[in-house]
A = this chain, B = another copy of it.
């Protein structure tokens, strides 16, 4: 059960974007597992990909295609990651692009392929190719909901959001979907996300906006520290609303994109494998943001902290121990102050006499928990979002392929 997350059904179409989903029989029965997103001619595209050196074949192909042409189609399959598949996997990803380019009358370089699912199995190219004509015949502007469902793997719930703003008197729509529940860690995660807007944005500006937004959103979540081979996030701008975004007026637009990304990134944590709690690790008073992030990540990834959260056990010693092993230069434990929710536990390294176990218990029993750590060595801060570590995390990942 995802933590305080429902499937957002109010998705707005984005002019210039059409989507189709269907069951290509790649792995799943009785649900769609293939998604085609068509971008209108003249759309801009920005993307970020996994930094994992073992990136999947589709990531390699998408990176290369994006660098050489304007994308017209995004081709996404769930159930098979096409990762760890060597040269045959690369050939498979390219073959899918060639087939879709032929059917869609564009160049193969204008196709960006994406895959998510089991690693190390060859992609059944023939099944993907066979499904393409049917997909192209069924492209629709209002298919975002189906798209959010078609890309799910261990997700228990679809993740999607729309937002509208007005730019220069013109209405701009932003709609995004995402999938991901495990192998989630900054830079990035076993996640795919597709976001589109009908604003017109120069590709360089679009990429720079995306980079800044990702740093504040998708790169601040972690479920298990395992970055994936397939993470990809695409932001497309069709320009069909007539609204033009440039350096002079991009602040509101960037803010809106960030809201969509924040919702989607936190949705991934709320639906984290086995999650029963949504946890914010707020690190303040660090020397710089990088330091705050390292501390936040160390606490967020500690199996001992995460199992204590699962048990609603205010075992704050585990939080301090995780802070203490963050690789922070000359950490002065007598400057560290710690809160669970609004309850002060440790003040400048010393246990607070007013603290009683019952107070911590109240905070830990919530399904949304704030851990606030004031380091007392600077003014930088960062928040990391994570979830707890439950029996179900082990179960889901032990049985994933069975």
Contact = CB atoms under 8 A, between A and B. Distances in A.
Contacts of A333: 53-54
A180 interface: no
Interface in A379-402: 389-391, 393-395, 397-402
Given A393-B303, A394-B390, A81 B227 contact: no
Contact of A84 (B87, B119, B311, B346): B346
Contact of A303 (B85, B224, B322): B224
Contacts of A85: 351
A232 interface: no
Interface in A295-323: 301-304, 307-308, 310-311, 313, 315-318, 320-323
Interface residues of A, number: 63
A373 to B, nearest CB: 12
Interface in A340-358: 346, 349-351
A325 B52 contact: yes
Contact of A318 (B119, B316, B332, B394): B119
A173 interface: no
A324 B393 contact: no
A183 interface: yes
A191 to B, nearest CB: 14
Nearest to A336: B54
The 3 closest A-B pairs by CB, nearest first: A119-B317, A54-B324, A311-B398
8 contacts: A51-B325, A183-B304, A226-B321, A229-B321, A307-B397, A307-B398, A313-B401, A391-B395
Interface of A: 51-55, 81, 83-88, 118-120, 182-183, 185, 224-229, 301-304, 307-308, 310-311, 313, 315-318, 320-325, 328, 331-333, 346, 349-351, 389-391, 393-395, 397-402
